[in-house]
């Protein structure tokens, strides 16, 4: 394969563009990506992160052609949303039932927002470890009126995770 065969390159954020130890994108990486784009190679971010987090983590001078965020649940470029894949409402209802019976911290992620039912020390530690802020907390009683693209439960053991997944069959 020659360089002329390459049409697109996908970059992960964590551990690829950004080191959690240094909390920054090296200047050499910014220049290399700019050179790729000048050569007509499309550059994409493919990450589990939300665009809100990317704005805080990636320098403005680092440009990409499109973004595949939330593990592909929210894809967009500078002009339009290309694709979203919300979690089915029945799965969210199942999660809410479990949260009502045995509350645990959980982040709910929409196209424009990240919020939690509540946060604790574990959440703060996990978010610090991935160079991310703790999401704001809010009442989740209206969560069914939103398109939820991703949820992140915290502090569950394997049995509890299995139970959550039983109530959310469309999620992995």
pLDDT tens for residues 126-164? 988 887 888 889 999 889 999 999 999 999 999 999 999
Q: What is the pTM of this model?
A: 0.86
Residue 86: the pLDDT is 97
Cα 69 from chain centre: 5
More confident residue, 127 or 87: 87
| Number of domains making up the chain | 2
pLDDT at 120 over 70: yes
Instruction: Name every residue whose Cβ is closer than 8 Å to that of residue 15 and which is 6 or more positions away in sequence.
Output: none
More confident residue, 155 or 2: 155
Of 61, 84, 107, the residue that ends a domain is 84
One domain for residues 154 and 126? yes
Residue 134: the pLDDT is 85
Residue 129: the pLDDT is 82
Q: Classify burial at 114, counting beta carbons within 10 Å of its beta carbon; exposed 0-12, middle 13-18, buried 19 or more.
A: buried
Closest CA to 170 of 88, 51, 83: 88
Instruction: Name every residue whose Cβ is closer than 8 Å to that of residue 168 and which is 6 or more positions away in sequence.
Output: 87, 91, 92, 94, 95
Share of the chain above pLDDT 90, in %: 75
One domain for residues 97 and 62? no
Q: Give the model's confidence band at 20: pLDDT under 50 very low, under 70 low, under 90 confident, else very high.
A: low
Domain that holds residue 97: 89-167
Q: Give the model's confidence band at 2: pLDDT under 50 very low, under 70 low, under 90 confident, else very high.
A: low
Q: Give the model's confidence band at 6: pLDDT under 50 very low, under 70 low, under 90 confident, else very high.
A: confident
Is 51 a member of any domain? Answer: yes
Of 58, 84, 110, the residue that ends a domain is 84
Q: Give the model's confidence band at 105: pLDDT under 50 very low, under 70 low, under 90 confident, else very high.
A: very high
Is 155 a member of any domain? Answer: yes
Rounded distance between C-alpha atoms, residue 12 and residue 100, angstroms = 35
One domain for residues 101 and 158? yes
pLDDT at 70 over 90: yes
Is 172 a member of any domain? Answer: no
């Amino acid at each position: 394969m020659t360089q002329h065969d390459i049409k697109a390159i996908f970059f992960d954020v964590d551990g690829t563009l950004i080191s959690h130890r240094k909390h920054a994108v090296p200047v050499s990486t910014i220049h290399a990506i700019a050179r790729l784009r000048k050569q007509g190679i499309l550059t994409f971010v493919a990450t589990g992160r939300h665009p809100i987090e990317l704005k805080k983590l990636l320098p403005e001078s680092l440009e990409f052609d499109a973004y595949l965020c939330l593990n592909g649940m929210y894809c967009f470029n500078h002009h339009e949303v290309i694709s979203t894949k919300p979690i089915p409402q029945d799965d969210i209802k199942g999660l809410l039932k479990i949260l009502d019976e045995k509350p645990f911290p959980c982040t709910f992620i929409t196209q424009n927002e990240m919020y939690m039912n509540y946060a604790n020390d574990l959440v703060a530690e996990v978010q610090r470890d991935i160079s991310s802020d703790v999401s704001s907390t809010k009442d989740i009683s209206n969560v069914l009126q939103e398109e939820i693209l991703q949820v992140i439960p915290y502090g569950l053991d394997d049995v509890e995770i299995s139970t959550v997944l039983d109530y959310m069959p469309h999620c992995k």
